[in-house]
Structure 1
């Protein structure tokens, strides 16, 4: 019998509202109800844990001295993939891992801090490429993500942007983390929960991001289990550690005090000896010698001055402490899984997105953004790439630091060079994979596998192990063919060869082609691309660390591999190459909207980093603040940035003050401010040499001036604009120590930003593609 519904529309789950007669026969306009997909009974949970910029040898299963007992346990329970490789930069590696497609086909020839308009730099995952999360979700899994996303173009990370490239739109049911490439571990500049900014006025004194991400991951798992005790989950845990700035908790720092005074040469030698003893490399393998390439050189530790050795050791203590803390937090997850009886049936993958980085330069830095984030053109002579700070601050919340590249040389033992290079130092990283219930090791199996595997293979392997079929379409469009090849067979049968035998690599014009035992490398950009003279050749079975160039002895093999690289490059939309840096300069006309004047009001969430930077970067600009300043009123009027660099305008004790954090060097100006209604103005005037002069005006009258400031540029200010308080990471540490976020107690009406003319040295070229296309058709 049919039931007549007379009380109006009611919801039908999955299909909105329905009014009328409900019958056993589905309406032509309403599809028949289908039960939700359930994963097969006993399907494993899957955890992929990805580190940022961690080298091959840092963790103990790969020869490191850093205390990582949880990772050692996972290695004991599972497998060490000694020849796992990845694109040599973070976002391309993550795109390849999540889509199973080579990075250029996935739209990520580089990191999403550029937008030149080519398919290989779309900086968004293709609409017809299902992600690993989308595949698992379609297979009946709950899908969670915490940590670093870095797969959305900068101009679409603000709160008003379309969110079709954010994690929830790419298969994750829950997300908590930072969508940018990195952040402070003590004061993250911007945290997103699902699709919304988490507004945090002040972080607790004991806050640490790795702990927070772990809390949220455990919370997601706990919420699932409270409602469904059997549904498997896929957790993608993408750490912000250990990308710069290097920061660690005080107790972990103390644990490593004095451990690195022996220097990077000794650490590399000791790690390599342990790698040989463990069987990661055969006896007789040569450890690559100290890097001597121009711009990549490593100074022998014994040639450093005593003061330098003491300072440089502090940097590595911070790095090691941060890795140690990751292991501690991983133990919290594995302990929880053991307590709930789920550890044995959970696949755990642990790896890194690329090799260790040389971005700290030859001496390291205590002012991260003045070295890493600084523009690469025409820096003035007085530009300070390492603002002197008390070494006791290294690793803590006040100093944004990175280690000297000598420690990256040690981290990448036994390979040569670093992140962004196509040698092993950029592409070979540790990988652990365990599944005690489903992939038990045979007696006597040490779990080490020497077969080649690539980032694109990870998803294919996990789907195969879990019994989940990959999607054949996405949003009604046939899915692109993937490049990944499952490697589960040689995990079970160590004598089998890898089915993945050829792989191209390219980044900024540096190229490589792996073909089984052979690897051709074109180490520098701007070469002809495939001519014999630009390529080196290595025979990997005898020389896995790429130390002996045999190109002269095998010219035909060089020509063959160079041509095969070119063919792979055309197939994978590698061209055009960003081998002259021009991609970084070209910006789409759509970004002009982000440079328009804006009025901000107290109580609004912090303006997103990139949106904020477009208002001030390499240009003049003014900030107008309208207030009713009552007697005794005090607090922050506007703040932009954090301890890495920024500026804050505030009133305190009857005075108006501008504090300018010049990459860690504090400069202040001020003047008395009488009660009353005022228009306070900051007038930033761009000068030659990437400098600003700043005038502080009250009701149009100049009251103070700062001259010859180094501009905040590149990635600074990293935190966005806050109005009426200094939210999150403080610009002025001492002001924060006195007052915290220091919310303004008077009446703040509005803050208005007016971007001015761009400086002559601003390299951006706006590509007004719509006008160019119109000209073509005319």
Structure 2
């Protein structure tokens, strides 16, 4: 009897405790959106051993977005200056951007960080780029807190915040925010989009992507959408593919959960190099830019005034003398330069068309009125990363590896520009024309040509003063606060147990109804590669560039604090940062310099570092392969990025492959890089073959091939790559051996000194992207069996 009473008492106490344990929250304080993630709420009454003795209860209440929270489509284009799009007075027709502006607001004083990864980190976190540990692009990171590229857990992304608040979230296109040494299929994935809180990712990692052969990921899985049944789809192009995936994802969200708002971050690689577009789109611009970049800059400036994009008293900033002049080009190079701009215009116009399809899909679902669309036309100003003034046919070749383009080659291959076998970038002076009316370009954070781009915000249900311009100072860090205020979601104080650093940006919702509202973002520092400046209450103090935008290997300053000259502008009277008044206002300049240093100290901007490509060496960052000289790979291993692959540059090495074949079988054994610089060991019609490419020029491609095919059975193929030494990019001798016997040899007069590729990888048993030469086509899957491939690096 006593035991039954005790048992009943224990059951009662347990049930009471369970009820109280599950009723820690109450409807009055649930959900607390400042602490993420938010546990489901469930009120539990009496829970007894039997159903008949227990209270009926409701299912746990999962978190949902606040009532009326809008869908959000956040769009950001790559490397597009303020004066490029028709929406901001430029020569490139962007009718969908125009339509959005007509039904929304144009912001003509919107700012980026002036370079890629930092801008993207600021955009998705609402913090300054150094706070997000992204003071420079990922490949150039250094160990200092503001530069190590490891986004801290105290800096939650908009994807994480919105996911935890009941949104469906996604990311399409470019991700240049994964640390260089973590961009492999082996992970870890905590800093990939899905690790940063986005539920779905379809895009590419790194600075750029080939429009016809991109290295894509879905989530963390490598995918190759340009392949159909092991063959290249001649109709494939990346911008259309991104739009298709975004449309499908948005439709799925609304078909399945119509009351759940979506957040789609749509960030194509357009118009970053390589500049590539469909032929029919390039044809639309034939002859449109024959007047040249100098006249184009004037035409754009006059059009901007006519449209009211810039103030009536705004000046056209002078072109720095270092830029190429149109009249200095030869007749042949004028044709080349005009064609480069035709390709760039086609690429951007085609991208705008695809974005229009995404917006139309939202409209077709009946969701456009309550969709907040933020469209940023450029993560920085247009890129002038062209050291020649004539443009270039391979960014990796010219900027990184020292290729010198020839006029003869460029003129002969005009029809190839914009296609898969070119990876060109336009002239520095076209970039400057696209940044009208400002001076300087991408990378020059001190000047508006680098940092100011066009932005449109549309939200039909909320913004009623449509078609107007807003001129309050605004910055990338303002975007997340704007989205959160629009959704009635507070900035979180704690996420996954980590106290959150406050956001630096200010919501722009206050501008929606009042063109004359006093700006709330009154102070903003700028710094990239030691180019720096400070905006404060209408004033701009900034350094004069010591290194030009196209200098990949500038001479570093001995003292970047003292070695930089400063300028001063009153932007309330000088919209285009044209009239330097530092000499007339020395005290104001000192005040601004002091304020900049205070901001730099606060946001971990120190130390200033004006090195650029010299930072790219993988040895400068964490490297699991450090000190490793022997690498063993197996068939099917792919997407090994250059930072994690054996460094087969400027050294001797041996490749040893153990294979099993039948007569005449062929395919890739191991490859790294691609058509614009790369190497490959393969079988062609059964013949062991080693191919090497310094660049895409025909005279820079070499092949060493066995005269006879392998017999049926097991074989060991060895490539001995004997590097001449004496510096970087020197010659090498290749010896090809089969089963211990020399079968062929040859010379490689010039080798790759710095990098094979920004996007193509090391693959075993097949090739992705572009082939090393055009004697085979990807994926060229190995038809036999590869037991293993070993790469031995020689000291």
CA displacement at 1:744 relative to structure 2: 2.8
2:452 counterpart of 1:411: no
Instruction: Render the CA deviation track for 1:18-56: whole Å, top value 9, x for unaligned.
Output: xxxx9479xxxxxx9842111133321101111111111
CA displacement at 1:333 relative to structure 2: 1.1
Unmatched segments (≥5 aa) in structure 2: 1-7, 12-21, 23-37, 41-45, 50-57, 547-556
CA distance in 2, matches of 1:604, 1:532: 48
Instruction: Render the CA deviation track for 1:352-410: whole Å, top value 9, x for unaligned.
Output: 21111111231211122112333xxxx6xxx4356935111110001111111111011
CA displacement at 1:288 relative to structure 2: 1.1
CA displacement at 1:517 relative to structure 2: 2.2
Residue 680 (structure 1) aligns with: 717
Residue 618 (structure 1) aligns with: 650
CA distance in 1, matches of 2:582, 2:563: 9
Unmatched segments (≥5 aa) in structure 1: 3-11, 17-21, 26-31, 758-778
Which deviates the most, 257-266 or 517-526? 517-526
CA distance in 2, matches of 1:366, 1:729: 15
Indicate if the aligned counterparts of 1:399 and 1:643 stay in contact, CA closer than 8 A.
no
CA distance in 2, matches of 1:471, 1:617: 47
Cα distance change on mapping 1:418 and 1:527 into 2, 3 Å: farther
Which deviates the most, 657-666 or 219-228? 657-666
CA distance in 2, matches of 1:251, 1:100: 39
Q: What secondary structure, in the 3-state scheme, does the structure 1 residue paired with 2:575 have?
A: coil
CA displacement at 1:322 relative to structure 2: 0.9
Instruction: Render the CA deviation track for 1:658-687: whole Å, top value 9, x for unaligned.
Output: 222221022223221343343222223333
Matches within 5 A, 1:416-565: 416-421=439-444, 422-441=446-465, 446-524=467-545, 526=557, 534-565=565-596
Residue 727 (structure 1) aligns with: 768
CA distance in 2, matches of 1:394, 1:645: 18
Match of 2:780 among 742, 748, 773: 742
Residue 384 (structure 1) aligns with: 404
Matches within 5 A, 1:124-273: 124-188=150-214, 190-198=215-223, 202-273=231-302
Match of 1:661 among 662, 684, 693: 693
Q: What secondary structure, in the 3-state scheme, does the structure 1 residue paired with 2:541 have?
A: strand
Indicate if the aligned counterparts of 1:642 and 1:717 stay in contact, CA closer than 8 A.
no
Residue 348 (structure 2) aligns with: 323
CA distance in 1, matches of 2:394, 2:312: 42
Matches within 5 A, 1:703-722: 703-711=744-752, 713-714=754-755, 716=757, 718-722=759-763
Indicate if the aligned counterparts of 2:65 and 2:165 stay in contact, CA closer than 8 A.
yes
Match of 1:365 among 392, 395, 409: 392
**Length, aligned pairs only:** 719
CA distance in 1, matches of 2:750, 2:257: 58
Match of 2:607 among 567, 576, 592: 576
Indicate if the aligned counterparts of 2:672 and 2:756 stay in contact, CA closer than 8 A.
no
2:138 counterpart of 1:112: yes
Q: What secondary structure, in the 3-state scheme, does the structure 2 residue paired with 1:372 have?
A: helix
Larger radius of gyration: 2
Matches within 5 A, 1:297-316: 297-316=322-341
Cα distance change on mapping 1:335 and 1:595 into 2, 3 Å: farther
CA displacement at 1:455 relative to structure 2: 0.9
TM-score normalized by the length of structure 2: 0.86
Residue 636 (structure 1) aligns with: 668
CA displacement at 1:641 relative to structure 2: 1.7
Cα distance change on mapping 1:646 and 1:226 into 2, 3 Å: same
Q: What secondary structure, in the 3-state scheme, does the structure 2 residue paired with 1:552 have?
A: coil
CA distance in 1, matches of 2:472, 2:39: 48
Over aligned residues, Cα RMSD in angstroms?
2.6
CA distance in 2, matches of 1:373, 1:735: 26
Residue 770 (structure 1) aligns with: none
CA distance in 2, matches of 1:487, 1:453: 8
CA displacement at 1:515 relative to structure 2: 1.4
Indicate if the aligned counterparts of 1:646 and 1:712 stay in contact, CA closer than 8 A.
no
Instruction: Render the CA deviation track for 1:212-238: whole Å, top value 9, x for unaligned.
Output: 111111121122122111110011011
Cα distance change on mapping 1:501 and 1:429 into 2, 3 Å: same
CA distance in 2, matches of 1:117, 1:717: 22
